[in-house]
Structure 1
């Protein structure tokens, strides 16, 4: 009988030991200390005048090993709650942003240290709630992140070893000119029982696609439209032969692996000229005393379609080093009667790159 009592006690001790192992806990599998991950986003390009909220480069997905091979292991028998929190080391962009793909990024874009460039990070397994051995996000898998585990993890512990993440750079404002580099710890985190859990370091270079307008960028200024007689104008809507001219953009920079930007032009009346039919590219003469009447000037694209005025119009994708914008211009009859005289007009133009 004493032997039987001793055997029962041993079984009771074994059962108690098994319950202690499964109780909610997180431990370092090897060396203690926060896990560290380093991710390089490369050197993506963005058009200089792209609107706020534009994706810079592409969305990238990573599987990043911990620098020294360390890991965290957590177990849970379902009797308690384990918590993991990840937060940015710096400020979050405070303004509204448009959706990026399927994601609402508002309140989740971190400042990178480059003015006008924000970083958006989404965590993957084991922070996506995909199993009993994962953390389930209380809101979303984007950082700032809070996740909980209150389920029985079973025979497979919750392991944090390789970091699965998705990252995107987002334009949040004007970006300084030149190559802009950032590097540093962007994320810190806390986990139950251990405190500091993991740190995410991110680096990258942001480059802007744009061109420069040098002195005298227009091939002929003024463009000579020619001399005509009144008989050349047969009624409203009639026009003369179009004359070619071009605008040269210099020092153009764009992604050599595949351009991402186009040149946009905005045309406004100048020196007394005003738009008459903006959608048709027609504007008035300068209306100086003695000028011709009943005609204006029409601006055309290189394919002879009207070039609209008073709005930003895409012209052509950028060509590295030099981009040439081809246009045409002609006289255009605007009234039933035309009178002779000097026929001069002018437009101002503004270039943007998107």
Structure 2
């Protein structure tokens, strides 16, 4: 009798619990005042130059897709749901042609960067309403204009901000980059829907895939050795510490440089609901020059190095290096690099103007050979 009574209680509890489970499996019904659409999104940047030395995570392109709906001076989408739970706007990646990248930055994009068809170029989708986020993401829809005073979106019916239909395609550097063409077909497709049930496919208002392509330039210039003849001078021409010989052109002349198309910064290359687009304001590429002296450094701030020490060498003088021309020279600080910004679209040969000269560094000068050596490094950004 006792075991039978317990068994009956257990069965009743199971039936009650199971009945409650079935009650909650129905999906809420939501409607929106816009027609769902499948929209191609053209990539706006034709060419991007990626410097070989640009750090991982460098933002290469930021393309904004802005499909705000404007009515009566306001941007709105009206969402009505049968369930009183808060209205959510859900962003998902409806198509993933490529797998996740092996590297991703910290922050919102961490773990949400995908490969493209060009090695070293990754892509993530940014959504910035109510804080920077990476797609896929679900966000609580906030009310721009409530249909009833004090009702709010939690009632299951509200008019939400139209700029929830805005998101951005972001290309970043994820590894060594080879020249190539990023195809729009290799990028994710983005789907947007409103619902009470997070991450469902109900009430899709847009599904957008990329079209077109972006050409990636990632080459370097040819860098020849620079041999400079500083001339021959008599010891008597040096009359004390700091006395110098005339400046001699020592410019570094780079040849066969790639086209410097620039790369993208925030807010460039956009497409809006009217179908218009902007040409963008690409960040200019730059060449960074830094020196690594082979012979001893005598004065790093003034760019002075010692002569090679070997039998028959002169003494009491050094070699000074400066940026500029003989008529306008600024001593090189050997502890710092210098960037040369390149004009958008420029290519071919690039001259980095430098000059050098002998300078007396000791009280006495003795005759002999007077040569030195310095390595230079060109970084591409």
Cα distance in structure 2, aligned partners of 1:281 and 1:54: 32
Query: More deviation in 310-319 or 247-256?
Result: 310-319
Could you say what secondary structure the match of 2:250 adopts?
strand
- The one-character-per-residue Cα deviations of 1:171-215 (angstroms, maximum 9, x if unpaired) are 233211x3432322514558646469554423541434654115x
The structure-2 alpha-carbon separation of the partners of 1:242 and 1:316, relative to structure 1 and needing over 3 Å to count, comes to farther
1:243 and 1:328 in contact (8 A); partners too: yes
Establish whether residue 314 from structure 1 lines up as the match of residue 339 from structure 2: yes
Structure showing greater relative contact order (alpha-carbon pairs closer than 8 Å, 6 or more residues apart): 2
CA spacing shift, 1:157–1:233, aligned 2, 3 Å: closer
Question: 1: CA distance between counterparts of 2:203 and 2:296?
Answer: 65
Q: 1:202 aligns with which of 191, 194, 210?
A: 210
Q: What TM-score, normalized by structure 2, do the two folds share?
A: 0.65
Q: CA–CA distance in 2 between the matches of 1:306 and 1:159?
A: 57
Residues 206 and 277 (structure 1), Cα distance of their counterparts in 2 relative to 1, 3 Å cut: farther
1:166 is matched with 168
Aligned to 2:64: 61
Q: Secondary structure at the match of 2:255?
A: strand
Distance 1:159 1:295, change over 3 A: closer
Q: In the aligned structure 2, how far is the partner of 1:157 from the partner of 1:242? A: 69
Secondary structure of 1:151's counterpart equals: helix
Q: Aligned to 2:334, what secondary structure does the other structure show?
A: coil
Q: Distance in 2 between matches of 1:296 and 1:348?
A: 16
Unaligned runs of 5+ in 1: 1-22, 66-71, 130-138
Match 1:186 to one of 182, 188, 202: 188
Q: Deviations over 1:240-294 (max 9, x none)?
A: 1111132221222212897712222222234xx2322222211121212110012
The residue aligned with 1:134 is none
Give yes or no for contact 1:251–1:320 (8 Å, CA) kept in 2: yes
Which of 261, 276, 281 lines up with 1:255 in the alignment?
261
List alignment gaps of at least 5 residues for structure 2.
1-26, 69-76, 142-152, 263-280
The number of equivalent residue pairs is: 300
Distance, in Å, in 1 between the alignment partners of 2:318 and 2:162 is 74
Which of 315, 323, 346 pairs up with 1:301?
Answer: 323
Instruction: Label 1:234 to 1:31 Cα distance change in 2 as closer, same or farther (>3 A).
Output: closer
1:146 is aligned to: 138
